[in-house]
A and B are shown apart, each in its own frame.
Chain A
């Protein structure tokens, strides 16, 4: 039993030296450029809503996010966003488009299991963690801030 455990540890250590090292600098540059460009696209959409639809700079945030989500869902449907994701890594995962991509791709992947058990059940398979952690963190911080404002 002990020997087997030792072997497992050795295996992990040995396999680590053979794992390819990610090209750190190149990955960072790719993430910076693609992530930056997605935000520039977002800024472009924001300006569009401000100038053509009379939104205030602050209120334009909601329609901008919704538009980006629509674009990202379509790009996922056409299989473009996943190719971009392989190239850009966090550059395409961190913007809100990555959130929409995780929802759409999880639903697409399980489409063969039907509309209810496949698409609808798996819609939040990957994005669920983001919402759960966001809500829990915001709730706890909200209570703390509220209590803080009562005391001071």
Chain B
């Protein structure tokens, strides 16, 4: 059941992205930026956690979860340190993703030759 809902919800989020590409004529960069903001907005109203509970990786794999994690980490530290905690915690949950993207992106770019 986990896999079915991950497929349906994850695919559904991609469908919204595809419609924004084709109908609204946005570039992929615009779609990704909008999705990150959308994820943060959904988390501000505590909605995104419900989606993760329901769909698992269907909600954590799309880029919307990046916005959700940014705000989530910020709020966790804000509870402890007040308003400065927002700056302390904003990359707390996303640091694994960003650090590995920089590391693996750099290594692959050094080792591989550009194609095409």
By a beta-carbon cutoff of 8 Å, the part of chain A in contact with chain B is: 22, 24, 27-28, 30-40, 42-47, 57, 61-66, 68-70, 73-74, 76-79, 82, 88-91, 93-100, 102-104, 107-109, 111-112, 115, 119-120, 123, 126-127, 129-135, 137-139, 141-146
By a beta-carbon cutoff of 8 Å, the part of chain B in contact with chain A is: 2-3, 6-15, 17-23, 28-29, 31-37, 39-41, 43-44, 55-58, 60-63, 65-67, 69-71, 74-75, 78, 82-83, 86-87, 90, 93, 96-98, 100-102, 104-116
CA distance A146 to B76 in the complex (A): 11
Q: How many whole Å from B71's CB to the nearest CB in chain A? A: 4
Q: How many whole Å from B3's CB to the nearest CB in chain A? A: 5
CA distance A64 to B69 in the complex (A): 14
A-B contact count (CB 8 A): 267
Q: Which 6 A-B pairs have the closest CB atoms?
A: A39-B10, A35-B14, A36-B11, A90-B17, A42-B57, A107-B109
Is chain A's binding surface mostly helix, strand, loop or mixed?
helix
CA distance A144 to B86 in the complex (A): 11
Could you tell me if A96 and B63 are in contact, using CB atoms closer than 8 angstroms?
yes
Could you tell me if B109 and A36 are in contact, using CB atoms closer than 8 angstroms?
no
- Most chain A CB within 10 A, of B6, B19, B96, B101, is at B101
Q: Contact check: which of B23, B61, B67, B109 meets A138 at CB < 8 Å?
A: B67
